[in-house]
Amino acid sequence: MIQASNISHFYGSEQVLFDLTFEVQSGEFLFLSGESGSGKSTLLSILSTLLKPSNGALLLDGKAVGSMKDMDSFRQSNIGFVFQFHYLINYLSVYENIALAAMDDKKENINKILDELGILELSSRYPNEISGGQRQRVAVARALVNEPKIIFADEPTGSLDSKNSTIVYELLQKAQKNGTTVVVASHDMQIQNYATKIIRLKDGQIL
């Protein structure tokens, strides 16, 4: 469960988020929608613990994010990420990229997930040797490997064609149906078909 209370954020003197308060129940598929500059990526970064908010409180699974001592360990075991530009590490193979994210007791999941996503045969290739759609599937595999409680995706299909976009959405939906909370920030309205909850942002405020 995600509980955000009075979240505000400033970049320098410019305020980009204004006192946002909302809750997301476990197992929901939240779609954060809004135009470019509406603040959805900043909000996603805050919800996913990648950015500290200027003001406000965030509880993930009942734990206050600001007071956690081992944030890195919490992030690794509870949170998965899918970024717009996949952000795979170029000098690591597909398998090694996923292994980098995997906790020791989850490394046995890697081949199973690669197989489920139809990219097992790519495991020894490097990111620059596979297509954009395949890279994004690797990024999804990396997000799923630790069986996280929450997956955050920021414009996960921004660089993909419609066929590959549908594949990524269906993978995220499958994770959600298995009990994972999924939060996607995007301007692609196709996600509405998969979302169970929608938050629309405009100029840093919830509409």
Partner 1 sequence: MGLMGIASVMSMIVNSRKEEFGIMRALGKSRFFIIKNLFFETLVMSLSAYLFALILSLGILAMLPHIEMLQGYVNGTLSLSSALYVLGSTLFMALLGSLFPAWIASKTDPILLINQGCA
Binding positions for partner 1, rule: CB under 8 A: 45, 48, 50-52, 70, 72-77, 79, 81, 83, 85, 87, 89, 100-101, 142
Residue 91, classified by CB atoms within 10 Å of its CB into exposed (0-12), middle (13-18) or buried (19+), is exposed
Buried b / exposed e across 125-151, counting CB within 10 Å, b at 16+? ebbeebeebbbbbbbbbbbbbbbbbbb
How many whole angstroms from its chain centre is CA 49?
Answer: 11
Give the residue with the Cβ less far from partner 1, 50 or 207: 50
Q: How far is the CB of 96 from partner 1 (least distance, A)?
A: 12
Give the residue with the Cβ less far from partner 1, 52 or 177: 52
Q: How far is the CB of 112 from partner 1 (least distance, A)?
A: 19
Q: How far is the CB of 44 from partner 1 (least distance, A)?
A: 9
C-beta atoms surrounding 8 within 10 Å = 16
Give the residue with the Cβ less far from partner 1, 84 or 165: 84
| Nearest in space to 53 (alpha carbons), one of 5, 87, 95, 100 | 5
Q: How far is the CB of 46 from partner 1 (least distance, A)?
A: 9
Q: What is the DSSP pairing of strand 150-154 with strand 181-186?
A: parallel
Q: How far is the CB of 111 from partner 1 (least distance, A)?
A: 19
Give the residue with the Cβ less far from partner 1, 76 or 173: 76
Give the residue with the Cβ less far from partner 1, 79 or 183: 79
CA distance 84 to 132: 11
Q: How far is the CB of 42 from partner 1 (least distance, A)?
A: 9
Give the residue with the Cβ less far from partner 1, 15 or 196: 15
51, 90, 179 from 75: Cα distances, Å: 12, 22, 18
User: And the tokens for 75?
Assistant: 């992030």
CA distance 153 to 59: 19
